[in-house]
Structure 1
């Protein structure tokens, strides 16, 4: 027998008492004395470290390195930017997999390819033959670099303590970074946000071999625990990760398993034009077509994909293993490709209130290779040593979309739930009124509202909102035959037509622009109208072809605080093109300053504009503490002569337009959109402002925006809230200078008070931590939802918020606080200082401050910055009588 190879960490495993086994010619730890179950569970709720140094690590260099990898891999390597990774598959001519692999781009001039240990020699031979046709070279650096997988919800914290204050990687999956670690003799660490366990928080770390043991021991000192091959297999099963020799390679009959049999194929396989006729492309295209038919439940031709890899869960008792037959109605339809018993912690509760208990349970799960006609949720049977055990094909075993924890998904049969007992109509109506009154009193008189996206309206605005126009229609548009006069499609609209004209004029005065569209009923709809109009304007000269979508758009990434509506997943989704080279949505993000991720890096932004020449630049954030650099970027765009539209989504800061914050059109914005109910005084609506003259070429774009508002987006544009918005604009134009000055002063004072109380306030202290109405308080990674709920229990209402280095809302480590509403109720710097003390006592000391909060709020229930003289009071009283109030 050949001598087994050993990794750089072999002695560490022996020292720890690991059970060592032969794995693909390597002597590897199967488990440690704690056992596989403990190792699996600690991965899910702590941090496990896995020695993956046995995996093959190949370096591809040379002028034609991209062309070579495009030929031998299914992924589109051209889509990889510096410090990005990509899951891919190494295909053969039959459309089967030689192996799956990860491609990393840590440096500009080479790629790293990581393959399975048992297949390293096979892949090396395959690549060696194919690389002869390319001006590229390959090097096996497996002995030179060690690899450690650091996986689990605590992995980020543990690694952060080792590397110091520098950011590990960007928080998205498949991001990379190269760090120097002073605490470990200036060791160079290549770190990837990847892994095989399915953890939403997990990394794979590469260091030179001589540093391997030192890093391994330091990870353990910081709280990580070693885990072996057994836990690696159970975690990858839960996560839905395929394993070569089981879900990839050859089936039990020695036939090739088609690559599209595995669910990850739709992400791993590219048919981009620039990939050319790569190995197996023809077969993969046939598989994809079969996959699409099967997905649409067309089973007329499954020849290219007769079976698929699907998850499977036992409903009865037993443990299924690889090779167990799977039957449907007594007929064999496939077999188990991987199977085992997996432990999990039992959860209680629903949604964000879900609690992971210490109770441990187990379930028998796996993968099966079964006929493509078998669908999700179908019942099957597994033959376990002659015993037929009921099973089901679930959609998945686990989800990781709520970091920092994975979430076990137990199969539950969908059954009709018993209907709740209904209350008779009049009693239900009476209860509804009572509940509404209780909620109104609680929110308006007993709670301190710090949600930055909310604003209570004045009495005048609220009363106008329910007046007669609330029940009416007033569709209208300009008609060229009548010299562009607005023609209304309904009678009885003279009053509301006059209101709309006044509203537009007042809004133009407030925004400082030439044109305003007021019919949009939300900020999101405002953005949708603009995106739709931009596409229509782009295609205006040729209506006989499929419309072209928007080219590159530059925006704030949602993790960096950007608006959802400006993301490819939001309102932008249906209007943005796909870059044929990268096969991704044509969106690039503003770079942020390394020392302050809340601030856009202007000089780096200019480089991105030069490279991508975006058709649209979208400023604006939902987590905004600084002015946006509209002036600097607009000047650059104009100087360079780029035909770029500049839009500022001012949803959160619409009520701060002016001398104390920012004047967007003076700064160079072409368009401003926003919500009228955040820092602005209005009801919940949207607004679009434009600044083109009628003689400008792009005035036609403005006319298109108007047509996208009506008839493109709305029929009834909610006349009651539009009437109320006019009153809100009157209030804003009358009081904005004093209101805006006090809001920004209060925010700065509040931030400084919170900081003095010992809370960690984000932002630049030299600027008072903020230039807007928002204050960001860092309460600790992943603790935001719990802290926000604790504050709500004390009548302090705020948002939990992910910081720019966190993975998502469920991993939030910050609170987003806004001072606008309470400033309008009369809070000054004095009250915000008192509030900071109450919040610190609740957050840092766990003190119950509810009674003190109610007492403080009870003094501030009258709205400020609105018309409240005797004449207005009499007018509202008369209106109230007519409204039946």
Structure 2
């Protein structure tokens, strides 16, 4: 008799059509049917009973040793609360099964395998464990239940039943313990549908029914095995017995033939020997060469799994022969007709319409030298049907939805450049530029916190003669550190640069300032490169090593791209050998306030990881950075890390009333000069190392990494403008800083009073900086930001710390710095708060009121004015 899951009777009550699968009686589909269940998962949320999957608990002091021997991935890379896709490889480099490994606690692992292979997998593991004392292996399949909740609304549905704080962190393969009506659960961010948002839930059998009913009552659509298969096929995910295991000729399919399986193989030396390592290494080498179109190792990887789309009518079924030039080239491994939602709009404006489509797609094991875009033929019952090799059928990097990729649509073609007479096009350009300028400067309330309007003086100075000149220079020790310029006619700009450096030294209270970087990101990269140079200064003959570990703000928690291994940090940080990923460690945050660093946990992390660089500063910043506290933690733990403060957002706020990074313990200050600072769009690096300081060679390396390491021309026009902006900061900065903080606090309080949800500690009026963060609801940020833009209020949407990415953003990031400079005060920001609330909460058109408000604030403050300044401007206008 077939096994039944704890939910069998509920499936029967829901009208399920059952099928026997791997010895289990499982729902194939419900009354709505496979197509409807597939589409409902993609649009809203699908609920799956996957209790038939095999579940093995592995514990004991040698559990990790066993897992490293029998699994293809690196189990040592998992911390408690993490999971990974893996394989049970065989000695030939094929797969006995694919699986998911979860590390529940420090000493407990859960391995989930395919139902069809459960008994064979268990025997394989028991045989391997017999040689490893100190391992306990238990089959929990019938002692537990397993549910899957997948789709764009799965997060909200699960949170509505368990509470948002009970969900794993918003990263793939994270898991956490939770509870339902007092019963324990494990929840992981995993799934088998290709959805970017999805969860799998492990619970006791007696808990499964009430949890299922609650999730279904909240809007989750029950989904059977039929739609589960079409969803995984559309996502390009393998199914054992199709894309893994034996091919139709009875030969093992090489693991590296399957794209998803490649990521499940670790050849790390730390993993040691494991089943199939040698053939898998050969397959990897062949695959590596394939990327360069080198097929010399074709015998090690003769065929690859590729997604295909039918051109002619028909359905490509598993086992059908694939032909190239009428000769056999492989087989279809999976194929059927798959439904999809027709989309409309472009980019972030893309939406799923109510229109449905069907497409014939598949996966095929075909000759490795075939390329994307090649046409092939599928033998469908003796009739050749044309098909094409496509890059994918689905993309999921824009949460909360997965989006179909249809052939032959491909990527959007860039718009054609306008044709016609160049003079006419120039006239049109000027007209549009004037229109845009007037809109932004006269009709809009500009609240983007990374922007600033320079004064007229700064703008006009920036387009004088130096805008087209060069002034490369380098200090030479032979001339007692005198700067040597490599161009003539540079006396004026050389003086400008010296005066700028001197002014910024006084402003920040430090000895060393480098002003040549033309962006904050370039400034950061110069520091990273200089730090590598400094760390490797004892041996210039060997390949320089990278930073062993870096402590930073994660991008989802407001960190800037320039401090991420996916951004500017990428080429400067090592890959952590155990975890096989960049050794960039995010600051722990407080659960009750994820915008604030957890200092106690950070101290423990510093002591454990011993980073060589700690980067403070972020782009989502509502609190002062704990510079002094981090310096104390470094000192107490004896970690000689460089403490860097990227003050890009708050550079114009630095001072006694806000923060003084060098007095608080920072080694290096970087920043961009155009957010809260008054300047042109540039960057800078500062530090306070005297010549006798052992770290002074780091400063010299920063100078070298700036020029010639990062740039040649350092954009002299904006350099000149920055000097004028620095003079403005010297003269007006103290009053401006006080006004910015006062306005930000008043703005935040007014928004909260209007019924909007404002992030941050209410005891601090929600902010200590120029920024105010609104929480407007999961994935609603882009849409609301567009609505506000249509009403002439400009801000930017941002992912909150518990959200999966910017396309799922539920926060709005605002800064008061620019409108403060145009004269807005607390009462004006309170009026603006009401307009924003009306637009967001009541969808009231407020554009005309916004324009009326802006008319009162068109003259810039905190800059030189009066007859003398007008005379300066007139002289500059004569030149331009």
Calculate the TM-score normalised by the size of structure 1: 0.98
Question: Is 1:637 matched with 2:634?
Answer: yes
Between the aligned partners of 1:499 and 1:483, the Cα distance in structure 2 is 21
Question: Is 1:647 matched with 2:606?
Answer: no
Residue in structure 2 matched with residue 258 of structure 1 by the alignment: 254
* Deviation per residue, 1:380-435 (Å, 9 max, x gap): 11111112111111000000000000010001267988955502011111111111
Residue in structure 1 matched with residue 80 of structure 2 by the alignment: 82
* Deviation per residue, 1:214-238 (Å, 9 max, x gap): 1000111111110000010000011
How far is 1:151 from its partner?
0.4
Alignment of 1:443-842 (within 5 A): 443-842=440-839
How far is 1:266 from its partner?
2.9
Alignment check: 8 A CA contact 1:475 1:715 kept: yes
Residue in structure 1 matched with residue 178 of structure 2 by the alignment: 179
Give 3-state SS (helix, strand or coil) of 1:499's partner: helix
How far is 1:882 from its partner?
2.1
Residue in structure 2 matched with residue 436 of structure 1 by the alignment: 433
Alignment check: 8 A CA contact 2:97 2:245 kept: yes
Between the aligned partners of 1:204 and 1:494, the Cα distance in structure 2 is 67
Q: How many residues align?
A: 878
Alignment of 1:197-596 (within 5 A): 197-412=193-408, 419=416, 422-596=419-593
Give 3-state SS (helix, strand or coil) of 2:576's partner: coil
More deviation, 580-589/828-837: 580-589
How far is 1:301 from its partner?
2.3
More deviation, 133-142/825-834: 133-142
How far is 1:640 from its partner?
2.8
Between the aligned partners of 1:144 and 1:734, the Cα distance in structure 2 is 73
Shift of the 109–396 alpha-carbon distance from structure 1 to 2, 3 Å rule, reads same
Alignment check: 8 A CA contact 2:648 2:670 kept: yes
Residue in structure 1 matched with residue 136 of structure 2 by the alignment: 137
How far is 1:629 from its partner?
0.9
Residue in structure 2 matched with residue 44 of structure 1 by the alignment: 42
Matching residue within 854, 857, 860 for 2:857: 860
Give 3-state SS (helix, strand or coil) of 1:264's partner: helix
How far is 1:659 from its partner?
2.4
More deviation, 808-817/417-426: 417-426
How far is 1:483 from its partner?
1.1
Between the aligned partners of 1:549 and 1:126, the Cα distance in structure 2 is 41
Residue in structure 1 matched with residue 13 of structure 2 by the alignment: 15
Residue in structure 2 matched with residue 844 of structure 1 by the alignment: 841
Residue in structure 2 matched with residue 118 of structure 1 by the alignment: 116
Calculate the TM-score normalised by the size of structure 2: 0.99
How far is 1:547 from its partner?
1.1
Residue in structure 1 matched with residue 149 of structure 2 by the alignment: 150
Alignment check: 8 A CA contact 2:177 2:184 kept: yes
Between the aligned partners of 1:680 and 1:417, the Cα distance in structure 2 is 36
Between the aligned partners of 2:489 and 2:450, the Cα distance in structure 1 is 35
How far is 1:660 from its partner?
2.6
* Deviation per residue, 1:572-598 (Å, 9 max, x gap): 001111111211111111000000000
Alignment check: 8 A CA contact 2:607 2:639 kept: no
Give 3-state SS (helix, strand or coil) of 1:428's partner: helix
More deviation, 406-415/52-61: 406-415
* Deviation per residue, 1:815-856 (Å, 9 max, x gap): 101100000000000110000000011000011001000000
Matching residue within 30, 33, 36 for 1:35: 33
Gaps of 5+ in 1: none
Between the aligned partners of 1:882 and 1:414, the Cα distance in structure 2 is 50
Residue in structure 2 matched with residue 160 of structure 1 by the alignment: 159
Between the aligned partners of 1:414 and 1:734, the Cα distance in structure 2 is 55
Alignment check: 8 A CA contact 2:166 2:178 kept: no
Give 3-state SS (helix, strand or coil) of 1:866's partner: coil
Residue in structure 2 matched with residue 102 of structure 1 by the alignment: 100
More deviation, 263-272/684-693: 263-272
Shift of the 603–29 alpha-carbon distance from structure 1 to 2, 3 Å rule, reads same
Gaps of 5+ in 2: none
* Deviation per residue, 1:659-680 (Å, 9 max, x gap): 2321111110000111100111
Between the aligned partners of 1:308 and 1:122, the Cα distance in structure 2 is 26
Shift of the 794–592 alpha-carbon distance from structure 1 to 2, 3 Å rule, reads same
Matching residue within 185, 195, 198 for 2:191: 195
Alignment check: 8 A CA contact 1:8 1:209 kept: yes
How far is 1:166 from its partner?
1.4
* Deviation per residue, 1:761-809 (Å, 9 max, x gap): 1111011000000111011101100000000000000101110000001
Give 3-state SS (helix, strand or coil) of 2:130's partner: helix
Between the aligned partners of 2:418 and 2:641, the Cα distance in structure 1 is 58
Alignment check: 8 A CA contact 1:167 1:805 kept: no
Between the aligned partners of 1:296 and 1:378, the Cα distance in structure 2 is 17
Give 3-state SS (helix, strand or coil) of 1:133's partner: coil
More deviation, 408-417/586-595: 408-417
After superposing on structure 2, the runs of 4+ consecutive aligned residues of structure 1 that deviate more than 3 Å are: 413-421
